[in-house]
Amino acid sequence: MGKLDGKVALVSGSGRGIGREIALKLATDGAAVVVNDLDAEPAKETVAAVEAAGGRAVACVGSVTDEDFAERFVHTATDTYGGLDIIVNNAGYTWDSVIQKMTDEQWDAILDVHLKAPFRILRAAQPVISSAVKQARQAGADVPCRKVVNISSLAGVGGNAGQANYAAAKAGVTGLTKTLAKEWGRYNVTVNSVAFGLIKTRLTEAPAGGDATIDMAGNRIKVGVNPDVLSAMESGIPLGRAGTPQDAAGSVYLLCIPESDYVSGQTLVCGGGFMM
């Protein structure tokens, strides 16, 4: 018996990296997972990995910034699995510049993916959660504890040079989290955030011999941290290393299991002891 048996989870940005590990972690403990990625192939690969491990998953492909995405994401959960218990707002990327060089497009794109998209997903989920709670109370049944985990960053806690857009968005995630914890307490929903420190993913690890880029809405965005800079950053972490996607997923998992049912409105820092 898993701690999340019978639960249904949404995990945005779960085709790769941290999101994939979150989806696998929740699924191996019993949750049915709606996997999301911008691209179909990574989403299908995560679904296949979940199923190979004996879990249940379905893909909902598309950009979290699309106007119709939030409703489609939520309805995929309810139509496929009949409910919604866990929401992990994980999708995102960085597009860095010092402020004098940052364009409106850069600012808007990062605020949209990291702050507006979670807001829309949570807004779309509210009627589903409210209706389920009302039905349970009318039937005299216990209302289960549902979970929201919004992904933040140490950049949102302490700022980070070159990331005014990302830091502002992640700071906004904290405000959204604390507000929803107050609004949704009456539904027995806990709402928390996890602020990641340095986690090694494709967005931080530069390939040998050159720069890496990703395509976001037609924009080629540079990713990866210079290996020497990455090594220097790791030396400042008390645990002596950057985190892995599995480390990151574990911190999210802690806020999804019954042991955290009385923890809400908090930001858990997953940074190996490092603080901005």
Q: Are 17 and 6 within 8 A, CB to CB?
A: no
Q: In angstroms, rounded to a whole number, what is the distance separating the alpha carbons of residues 69 and 74?
A: 9
* One-character DSSP codes across 112-168: IIIIIHHHHHHHHHHHHHHHHHHHHHHTTPPPPPEEEEEEEEHHHHH--TTBHHHHH
Catalytic site positions: 166
Beta strands in the chain (DSSP E): 8-11, 32-37, 56-61, 86-89, 146-153, 189-196, 212-216, 219-223, 267-270
Q: Tokens 């530069």 — which residue?
A: 206
Under 8 Å between Cβ of 173 and 193: yes
**Separation between Cα atoms, residue 9 and residue 88, nearest integer Å:** 8
Residue with tokens 């931080």: 204
